[in-house]
Amino acid sequence: MILTRREIPIAIVNAIYIPIFTLLAIGRANYEFLLYVGVILLDGGLILWKQRSVQFGPPILWGLTVWGFLHMAGGNVSLGEDVLYGLMLIPVYEPLHILRYDQVVHLFGFGVATLICHHLLCPYLKEGVGRTGCLFFLIVLMGSGFGALNEIVEFIAVLTFPETGVGGYKNTLVDLVFNLLGGVIAATWLTASGRLGGEAKVAP
């Protein structure tokens, strides 16, 4: 696949941070995050394979890149005895440990996932059909579905590496809530920018 001039900087950033965090995880025997590296590489391979046909624009590609970086940094950058994922950013609601770095990454990441769902769904929509409310609801559900799939991956990580710091039942539910909020924010942005139901064309 030949990269466009807009895609080359994105590819370079990924080619830099993924190996760095992979080596860092290996050096610290952080085998849980090697599983996530595999997921990122699989997703990246699928995007490279299908990019010419699906044509994700720079906002989505950069969003995926930033999401991947935030995720890898969250599990590999140490802060005392914890990692970045455990960092409390703003103590909004202490019983559920809100608002942590982890939850912001979920909010951002599954907002990006919702944009991807919208992009992939648009070619299958009929022209001239009033569908804003229904489409808003559908893409939020699709993005949340990817969020639920992510929690299954985390569950597999817990079963495979019992010492993982993923968290328990409350953590999973809070993650799902922030996944949903990210999807709602993304769908709201699409609606407000007039993109819901169609994708702005981007020159290569």
The domain ranges of the chain are 8-192
pLDDT at position 15 over 90: yes
More confident of the two residues 98 and 2: 98
Find out whether the peptide bond into 173 is cis, omega within 30 degrees of 0: no
- pLDDT tens for 106-153 read 999 999 999 999 998 888 776 655 567 788 888 999 999 988 888 887
Residue 162 in 3-state DSSP?
A: coil
Q: Which residue has the tokens 């609601």?
A: 93
- pLDDT > 70: percent of the chain: 89
User: 182: closest CA among 147, 134, 152?
Assistant: 147
- pLDDT > 90: percent of the chain: 36
Number of neighbouring beta carbons within 10 Å of residue 201: 7
Q: CB–CB of 94/169 below 8 Å?
A: no
As a residue count, the chain comes to 204
Instruction: Give the separation between CA 31 and CA 115, rounded to whole angstroms.
Output: 30
Give ∠ CA 133-136-141 in degrees, rounded to 5. Answer: 125
Q: In the predicted model, what is the mean pLDDT of residues 20-46?
A: 85
Number of neighbouring beta carbons within 10 Å of residue 136: 20
Predicted TM-score (pTM) of the model is 0.80
CA count, 13 A, side-chain hemisphere, 56 = 26
User: 100: closest CA among 113, 115, 83, 122?
Assistant: 83
Q: Which helix (H) or strand (E) holds 82?
A: strand 82-83
pLDDT at position 200 over 50: no
Rg (CA), the chain: 18
- pLDDT tens for 141-187 read 999 998 888 888 777 777 776 665 556 677 788 888 999 999 999 99
Instruction: Give the separation between CA 160 and CA 151, rounded to whole angstroms.
Output: 14
